[in-house]
């Protein structure tokens, strides 16, 4: 943002006019002049400008500097969060792979055990049926 410094001068001019009815009325005009250095000729013809007190401008610059620092801090924190996020994603990915391997291993162990369990259930049923038949036979014989 371009800016220049200048000096403000205020002029007040008082004059009197005689009205048609003979009364004299006093008028006052006010004029404000801002003197700029020739080397600071940065404005274009018909350009709209803002004029503000130097203390206000200094406060504006201070606030603008603070905002820029905060934006830089926010940007830095965003980058740090993204980095942490990608690290966490990587760690979770590794954990998921490890758990998947364990799950596959457990499934591989589970299948033979399930088959063995089913076989033992059939044997138990067979022996139970055999036991029931023996009981019936014993009852018939006695």
26 dihedral zone (left: phi>0; alpha: psi -120 to 50; beta): beta
Asked whether the beta carbons of 40 and 12 are under 8 A apart, the reply is no
Predicted local distance difference test score (pLDDT) of residue 70:
96
Predicted pLDDT of residue 8: 92
Residue 71 inside a domain? The answer is yes
Produce one character per residue of 47-65: b if its CB has 16 or more CB atoms within 10 Å, e if not: eeeeeeeeeeeeeeeeeee
Residue 140 lies in a domain: no
Question: Residue 124 falls within a domain, yes or no?
Answer: no
d(CA 8, CA 36): 9
Which runs of E-coded beta strand occur in 19-142? 24-36
Q: Is residue 1 in some structural domain?
A: no
The answer as to whether 50 is a domain residue is yes
Residue 43 is predicted with a pLDDT of 81
Q: According to the model, what pLDDT value does residue 1 have?
A: 59
Task: Classify residue 87: in a domain, yes or no.
Answer: yes
Residue 83 lies in a domain: yes
In a structure prediction context, what are the per-residue pLDDT tens digits for the chain, which is 142 residues long? 577 888 899 999 999 999 999 899 999 999 999 888 888 778 888 888 888 888 988 999 999 999 999 999 999 999 999 988 888 888 998 999 999 999 999 988 898 899 899 999 999 999 999 999 999 888 888 7
């Amino acid at each position: 943002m371009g800016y220049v410094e200048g000096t403000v001068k205020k002029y007040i001019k008082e004059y009197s006019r005689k009205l048609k009815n003979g009364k004299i009325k006093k008028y006052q005009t006010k004029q404000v002049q801002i003197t700029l250095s020739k080397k600071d000729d940065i404005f274009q013809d018909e350009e709209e400008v803002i004029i503000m007190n130097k203390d206000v401008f200094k406060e504006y610059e201070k606030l603008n500097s603070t905002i820029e620092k905060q934006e830089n801090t926010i940007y830095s924190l965003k980058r740090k969060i993204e980095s942490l996020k990608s690290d966490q994603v990587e760690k979770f990915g590794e954990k998921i792979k490890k758990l998947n391997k364990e799950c596959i291993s457990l499934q591989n162990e589970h299948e033979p055990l399930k088959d063995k369990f089913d076989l033992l259930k059939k044997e138990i049923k067979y022996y139970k049926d055999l036991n029931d038949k023996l009981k019936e036979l014993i009852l018939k014989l006695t």
